[in-house]
Amino acid sequence: MISDRLKTTILNHLDLEDYDIQDETKANTVPGWDSLSHANVILSIEKEYGVRFKSIEILKCKNIGDLQKLIDSKTK
């Protein structure tokens, strides 16, 4: 289950007030999260959590739930 912290970080960066993000949500289905904004969204997440991701780690994430698992593995 994705955290409110991750949801808030993503939605704030994309300037979205209220969008329902679930574990199975894919980046390309979130308004404003396109190939141009992808790197900036990831940078915002890294800054929020104080972590760094390798490119291969991000490429392995198929949805937001996978991204949450990646964050959890780096913060616990």
Domains in the chain with CATH codes: 4-75 (1.10.1200.10)
- pLDDT tens sequence across 2-52: 999 999 999 999 999 889 999 999 999 999 999 889 999 999 999 999 999
Structure confidence at residue 48 (pLDDT): 97
* Full DSSP string of 9-42: HHHHHTT-SS----TT--GGGSTT-SHHHHHHHH
In angstroms, how far is CA 4 from the centroid of its own chain? 11
